[in-house]
Amino acid sequence: MNTFQEKLETVLMPMSIKLSNNKILTIIRDSFIATLPLTIAGSLSLIIQSFPFIEYVVPDTVMAEVITFWMLFLARL
């Protein structure tokens, strides 16, 4: 098992080092990492928005208060 691992390391390590030092791939990696929280937040908001039977779970007045709160919060920024 150790010999197999050593062979993999000798073959793959130089290739992985070259890929990790590539400027373009580093930029793409960092941009994906930077946009990941926005993607997760957008996905969660879409799940909440399209939640079935939301009108039975949360009354319209509560949703109006939540929207008003966020509008006021964003206006302060």
- pLDDT band at 38; cut points 50, 70, 90: very high
Residue listed under structure tokens 């990790």: 20
* Predicted local distance difference test score (pLDDT) of residue 54: 64
Alpha-carbon span 25 to 9, nearest angstrom? 21
Residue with tokens 């390590």: 13
Write the pLDDT tens digit of every residue in 57-73: 666 777 788 888 888 88
The H-assigned helical ranges of the chain are 2-21, 23-49, 54-57, 60-76
Using one digit for the tens of pLDDT, what is the confidence trace for 3-24? 888 988 899 999 999 998 999 9
pTM: 0.50
Give the residue carrying structure tokens 């509560």. 62
